[in-house]
Amino acid sequence: MSKMLKFVDLNRETPEKVNSQVRKDNFLEIYKEFIDTKAKEQASRCSQCGTPFCQVHCPLQNNIPDWLKLTAEGRLKDAYEVSAATNSLPEVCGSICPQDRLCEGNCVIEQSGHGTVTIGAVEKFITNTAWDNGWIKPIVPLTELKESVGIIGSGPAGIAAAMELRKEGYQVTIYDRYDRAGGLLIYGIPNFKLEKSTVLRRIKLLEDSKIKIIKNFEVGKNSSFKELKEKHDAVLIATGVYKARQINTPGSELKNIYPAMHFLTASNKKGLGDKVEEFENGSLNAEGKNVVVVGGGDTAMDCVRTAVRQKAKSVSCLYRRDKVNMPGSAREVMNAEEEGVKFVWLSTPKVFEGNKKVEKVIINKMRLGEADSSGRQTPKAIEGSEEILKADLVIEALGFEPEEIPKLFNEPKLEITRWGTIKVDLKTLKTNIKGVFAAGDIVRGASLVVWAIRDGKDAAKGISQYLNKINQKKIRAA
Ligand SMILES: Cc1cc2nc3c(=O)[nH]c(=O)nc-3n(C[C@H](O)[C@H](O)[C@H](O)COP(=O)(O)OP(=O)(O)OC[C@H]3O[C@@H](n4cnc5c(N)ncnc54)[C@H](O)[C@@H]3O)c2cc1C
Ligand code: SF4
């Protein structure tokens, strides 16, 4: 314990952030890596609480105090193993979890007037050290089982489930409609938050662990859901949510108004070296344009910061509430402001105008009215408050809803909630259809990577229990 409790003498430090003028010119991750001594020093600030609120508030219940102590003692391999015991993608969570709302936001030393322990940066440091030293090896199960599991979707929920099932020896196949695996980690979240090499390295590990990944394979198109169910002993639906909410504003049919995922996917594909027609012909390239992004969540922040890096002439973010009420992470808003994004708070588009292509947005100013049932103040338009914003490219980032899975999968019996998410038993994540489970955003609605991992792990447990039960029945019957 002597190495710990240094928070009284040592100030909180985070890894150095690249200067905004430099980072605007590239898509590289903006935070530098902790150096060895800094990670150990910062880890030693932890007070090793009896009831660690950091762990309690982590969706994976990561054993944070233990791996901080091991890091402070220089036992990095042990620290990595403790961290990886609960988290399938610690390198991803270390980079893009909103720690300010989860572990770090609940670290008790903050309440005693000292800055929180820098948990996320230490998590990233120990995992990257583990990769660099070859401590992360493909999964080799103790026994190979004959049962197979089909997973639809290769995002964090599908990846976490696949890894857990493979550890137990199941034969796992992941199907994804995209040409690369990783879900939103590969085509949603931009490089400057999470470098693609981090995702590709993890996908290679899955393949080296003999997890089969079949790409360009859309369930409901390339095969029916029924066929998949017949092929596998259990199926997991981890398809995420992709139906973009749209703005119903006059003029929204004009050209150069796009949903956020079109813009981000094109940019991510370009960064991966693909030829992207809509980028090459200029429609999904912000260069030299006045860009207006509508929305206030993390997706909107990723769009504005991508537009800055594509050398837009100006980038504005329209949000109908104020800064305090933004749903996006405060850290990302600050990063965007530093990079020159103009925030137009309390504003909503009233009309898009232009000759075939959008040329300007007439905006309505808003005020915050009475609180609704959720406690949030409802934005109300202020009459006669119109303003004009020049716009050559408008990006809608208003959130996502589930696609109609029962219809797409031709499985009308699959039960969904009134929000269109798949209904599951919250403990086992099984659906109402025998042998079919669901996890991640398609169950929760648009959420976070860390919750998708948690669901993937829970679903793997549910699937394993289900397959074990069937086996026991077979043995008893024989
Ligand atoms: C722009 C953006 C930025 C974000 N930033 C953050 C962040 O900083 N931090 C954070 O924690 N979270 C962030 N999130 C949220 C996070 O990415 C998601 O919560 C998480 O990826 C959900 O994981 P998932 O596995 O459920 O689904 P996804 O990651 O969406 O993966 C689903 C996969 O299923 C595939 N699929 C869908 N339908 C079919 C079908 N019929 N057949 C075959 N395959 C199919 C898709 O191609 C996709 O690959 C962000 C989201 C977006 C959109
Ligand atoms: S809450 Fe903070 S001080 Fe307490 S165990 Fe967690 S990281 Fe350490």
- pLDDT tens-place string over residues 53-68: 999 999 999 999 999 9
Q: Are 224 and 163 contained in the same domain?
A: yes
Q: Are 289 and 364 contained in the same domain?
A: yes
Q: Are 323 and 349 contained in the same domain?
A: yes
Could you tell me what percent of the chain has a pLDDT over 90?
Answer: 86
The more confident residue out of 8 and 275 is 275
Does residue 336 surpass a pLDDT of 70?
yes
Q: Which atom of ligand 1 is nearest to the CA of 264?
A: 1
Does residue 33 surpass a pLDDT of 90?
no
pLDDT at 37: 84
Cα-to-centroid distance, 42 and ligand 2 (Å): 12
CATH of the domain at 259: 3.50.50.60
Q: Does ligand 2 lie within 6 Å of residue 5's CB atom?
A: no
Q: Are 212 and 291 contained in the same domain?
A: no
Q: Are 394 and 410 contained in the same domain?
A: no
The parent domain of residue 157 ranges over 148-241+402-477
Q: Give domain status of residue 141, yes or no.
A: no
Does residue 143 surpass a pLDDT of 60?
yes
Q: Are 277 and 297 contained in the same domain?
A: yes
Does residue 87 surpass a pLDDT of 60?
yes
Q: Are 197 and 180 contained in the same domain?
A: yes
Q: Give domain status of residue 265, yes or no.
A: yes
Task: List pLDDT tens digits, range 369-415.
Answer: 888 877 888 889 898 889 999 999 999 999 999 999 999 999 999 99
Q: Give domain status of residue 262, yes or no.
A: yes
Q: Which ligand number lies closest to the CA of residue 112?
A: 2
Mean pLDDT for the stretch of residues 111-132: 93
Q: Give domain status of residue 332, yes or no.
A: yes
Cα-to-centroid distance, 62 and ligand 2 (Å): 12
Domain boundary among the residues 74, 99, 132 is at 132
Cα-to-centroid distance, 184 and ligand 1 (Å): 4
The more confident residue out of 320 and 8 is 320
Site to probe by mutation for ligand 1, drawn from 407, 449, 457 as the one with most ligand atoms within 8 Å of Cβ, is 449
- 280 pLDDT band (50/70/90 cuts)? very high
Side chain identity at residue 448, one-letter code: L
Q: Are 124 and 189 contained in the same domain?
A: no
Does residue 1 surpass a pLDDT of 60?
no
pLDDT at 477: 87
Q: Are 109 and 42 contained in the same domain?
A: yes
pLDDT mean across residues, the chain = 95
pLDDT at 2: 56
Q: Give domain status of residue 158, yes or no.
A: yes
Q: Give domain status of residue 391, yes or no.
A: yes
Residue whose CA lies nearest to ligand 1 atom number 37: 239
Q: Give domain status of residue 292, yes or no.
A: yes
Distance CA 434, CA 301 (A): 40
The total of structural domains in the chain comes to 3
pLDDT at 248: 86
Task: List pLDDT tens digits, range 316-331.
Answer: 999 999 998 888 888 8
Q: Are 469 and 352 contained in the same domain?
A: no
The more confident residue out of 127 and 35 is 127
Tell me which residues have their CB closer than 6 angstroms to ligand 1: 96-97, 152-158, 175-178, 183-184, 188-189, 193, 218-220, 238-240, 264, 298-299, 302, 440-441, 447-450, 452
- pTM here is 0.95
Does residue 302 surpass a pLDDT of 90?
yes
CATH of the domain at 75: 1.10.1060.10
